[in-house]
A = this chain, B = another copy of it.
């Protein structure tokens, strides 16, 4: 790939949970960049309908999934970031708090705009089975007790979520929020 300094991309998300769509974006990115920084946002929030899993659990899911997929750990970094205000100044904050990057990989139009307006390069990966592979949909399946969610995440993630009673937690949280 790059002859001189390695090219690094940022992949930013909440990963609630890390699913097969995320995994494919990782693979797509590693074909185009030397290194990928996977940044887990809203690290301080857990136990809510949008963010049921803790930062620790999400990092663990990502590591397990990447290891299962045989990804090269020297080319992949995982880090966490507390909630930031949405905006162009936050793009600079993300850049300063991490090891830096040459491009941002995202299909989220708002994140794309904020980074682009702050002067960063943004690239759009293809959408993989977008109807099914969405975090909100997967959490709703968990909340309904529908085991279909297991087919939408990497096997190692399904196993890990089972080991921490994750689907039950999501059910409890959704029930609590409806009150």
State which of B43, B60, B63, B172 has its C-beta within 8 Å of the C-beta of A113. Answer: B172
Residues of A whose CB lies within 8 Å of any CB of B are 43-48, 51, 54-56, 59-60, 63, 73-74, 77-80, 82-83, 85-89, 92-93, 95-100, 108-114, 117-118, 169, 172-173, 175-177, 179
The docked-state distance in angstroms from the alpha carbon of A176 to that of B79 is 25
A79 interface neighbour in B45, B46, B73, B80, Cβ under 8 Å: B80
Task: Name the B residues within 8 Å of A108 (CB-CB).
Answer: 176, 179
Choice from B88, B110, B118, B179 contacting A177 with Cβ under 8 Å: B110
Is the beta-carbon distance between A89 and B96 smaller than 8 angstroms? yes
Closest to A45 in B: B85
Query: A74 with B77: in contact, given A44-B85, A98-B59, A100-B60 (CB under 8 Å)?
Result: no
Q: How many copies does the complex hold?
A: 6
- The SS class assigned to the A binding surface is helix
Distance A47 CA – B110 CA, assembled complex (angstroms): 6
Query: Do A87 and B44 form a contact, CB below 8 Å, given A56-B96, A60-B99, A80-B79?
Result: yes
Residues of B within 8 A of A93 (CB): 44, 89, 92-93
